[in-house]
Structure 1
Amino acid sequence: MMDKDTFSDFEREAMRERAEELRKTKNTEADVLDKISEMTDSEAQIAIEIHHLVKKIASELKPKTWYSMPAYANRNGKVVLFFQPATKFKARYSTLGFNDAATLDEGDFWPVTFAIKQITPTIRQQISLLIEKSIQK
């Protein structure tokens, strides 16, 4: 049996939000845009830029919320990538993460989470390449 201190308040809230997402019959792009609208201005700018890049590069990925974060899933419903705003867990930077459904494999060791504080043209290009690679078969 777990005591109440096993999970942080942030983790308990994320689990509650995930349970709510699972109860919904639909989890749509509108839900993603709603979550983005709740973010700070700087986080929302990053999230909306990622959202537009995914729609442009990987239109086959379905926008949905995942633990109350913007995420993009493949046809099997598996989350390929997600954006975690810094304020969600009081972190010092936001992250762009890729799950095992993404094909970023490089031998026996490769990165799947990237710290992101702002979008620049160079970062936009790097994210674009990661999105492209994540959906390769």
Structure 2
Amino acid sequence: MAGAGFSAAEREAMKQRAEELRTTKGLKGAAKKARELEACLDAIDALSGTDLELATMLHRIVTEVAPDLTPRTMYGFPTYAREGRTVVFFQPASKFDTRYATISFDEAAALDDGVMWATSYAVLEADEEVERTVRRLLRKAVG
């Protein structure tokens, strides 16, 4: 059946996740956090163009606004978590050859606003307005 199963990019993401888990297996405390930070920075450094600008911007904002979040990767994406639960992550456009990158907030983010609210944002460029919006959202997300 045509179109069934995972794409090559999805399979690669799953392999990356398995590798992420292997590289931190048995590590605890500061050693685990250091390895996860290194992986996050490596994932950002591997990007180029707008993806690199956006991921760098998000990393800087997280460091300034929510330094208690732990940088790591999930499926090769730069990700920031609190107590092991993802709060925010960056999905580069280049990962799945999409026309825009996304900054997404997971369930641990306190963005609740009534019975429906946005958790994922398409981003085309890193500019001052995007930075202000991400800062505001992150402040709300971490309470």
TM over 0.5: yes
Stretch of structure 1 that moved more, 20-29 or 102-111: 20-29
What is residue 124 of structure 1 aligned with on the other side?
131
2:89 to 82, 94, 98: 82
1:14-66 C-alpha deviation (Å, 9 max, x unpaired): 11110111112234222111111111222111100110000000000000011
Q: C-alpha displacement at 1:121, in angstroms?
A: 1.1
- 2:101–2:123: 8 Å Cα contact kept in structure 1? yes
Tell me the amino acid that sits aligned with residue 7 of structure 2: S
Q: C-alpha displacement at 1:93, in angstroms?
A: 0.3
Q: Which ranges in structure 1 are unaligned for 5 or more consecutive residues?
A: none
Residues of 2 paired with 1:20 and 1:37: CA distance?
Answer: 18
TM-score, normalised with respect to structure 2:
0.88
Identify the structure with the greater helix proportion: 2
Quote the RMSD (CA, aligned, Å). 1.3
1:62 to 70, 79, 82: 70
Tell me the amino acid that sits aligned with residue 20 of structure 1: E
Aligned length in residues: 132
Identical counterparts, % of pairs: 39
Q: Which ranges in structure 2 are unaligned for 5 or more consecutive residues?
A: 25-31
Runs of 4+ deviating beyond 3 Å: none
Asked if 1:39 corresponds to 2:38, the answer is no
TM-score, normalised with respect to structure 1:
0.92
- 2:20–2:74: 8 Å Cα contact kept in structure 1? yes
3-state DSSP of counterpart to 1:102: coil
Residues of 1 paired with 2:128 and 2:47: CA distance?
Answer: 22
Q: C-alpha displacement at 1:5, in angstroms?
A: 3.9
- 2:102–2:120: 8 Å Cα contact kept in structure 1? yes
